[in-house]
């Protein structure tokens, strides 16, 4: 079996970018993904919420796992190394496309390379975070107000189906049935979307 694991941090990002990258790799190498595990969640969440536990429960001896980059697998260097060690012990081959790493044995050189690359990824995230904080503080010091203007509405994944959502709700379908019909989303986020945009005046 060949699995792919795809994670994005927020619902403002799309899993499509990673899906397309993995698909291009598979097409070039005449491979076919048997199952993709996709999740929209921050790396700060636990293993269960990030579906890492689900992944480990599925893969078996001789399987292949494909991810776009190391940072998709864990929140820090230690977690990434632990997960890859676990997969190797299960005799699962791990293919990391961005770093061009194909790991299928307990090779000390592989472990050292993973450690170095993971540390650089973690360091890069820290640098970006620090620069963002410094930039925000600089704007505050200059008296510039931060945040969205009052009344600003962000784009949403539901925008493309807005008319259909209104139609289905008007017909009396519950939010859960609308989600089932759309094939994506969550009841709570759809409810918030409809309410903020005042798409229907009365919510059941």
| Tokens 């921050």 found at | 42
- List the catalytic residues: 9
- pLDDT at residue number 43: 63
List of the chain residues with pLDDT < 70 = 10-13, 43-44, 106-107, 111, 117-129, 145-153, 201-204
- pLDDT at residue number 54: 92
Residues paired with residue 39 on neighbouring β-strands, in sequence order: 7
Task: Record the pTM.
Answer: 0.56
| Domains of the chain, residue spans | 2-119, 148-204
pLDDT in tens, 54-101: 999 999 999 999 999 888 888 777 788 888 888 988 999 999 998 888
Sign of CA dihedral 181, 184, 188, 193: negative
- Determine what percent of the chain falls in helix, strand and coil, rounding each to the nearest 5: 50, 10, 40
Long-range CB pairs of 75-79 (<8 Å, 24+ gap) are 75/43, 75/44, 76/118, 76/122, 77/115, 77/118, 77/119, 77/122
- pLDDT at residue number 103: 86
The hierarchical CATH code for the domain 2-119 is 3.40.50.1390
Q: Which are the contacts of 36, defined by CB distance < 8 A and separation ≥ 6?
A: 3, 4, 5, 6, 19, 22
């Amino acid at each position: 079996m060949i699995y792919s694991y795809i994670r994005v941090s927020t619902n403002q990002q799309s899993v499509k970018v990673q899906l397309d990258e993995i698909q291009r790799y598979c097409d070039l190498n005449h491979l076919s993904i048997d199952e993709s595990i996709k999740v929209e969640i921050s790396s700060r969440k636990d293993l269960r919420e990030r579906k890492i536990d689900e992944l480990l429960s599925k893969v078996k001896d001789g399987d292949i796992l494909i991810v776009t980059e190391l940072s998709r697998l864990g929140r820090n260097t230690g977690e990434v190394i632990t997960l890859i060690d676990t997969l190797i012990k299960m005799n699962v081959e791990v293919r990391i496309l961005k770093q061009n790493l194909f790991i299928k044995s307990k090779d000390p050189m592989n472990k050292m390379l993973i450690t170095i690359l993971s540390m650089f990824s973690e360091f890069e995230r820290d640098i970006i975070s620090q620069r963002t904080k410094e930039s925000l503080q600089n704007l505050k010091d200059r008296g510039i107000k931060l945040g969205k203007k009052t009344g600003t509405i962000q784009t949403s994944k539901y925008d493309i189906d807005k008319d259909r959502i209104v139609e289905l709700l008007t017909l009396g379908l519950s939010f859960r049935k609308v989600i089932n019909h759309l094939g994506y989303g969550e009841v709570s986020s759809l409810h918030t979307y409809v309410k903020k945009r005042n798409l229907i005046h009365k919510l059941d």
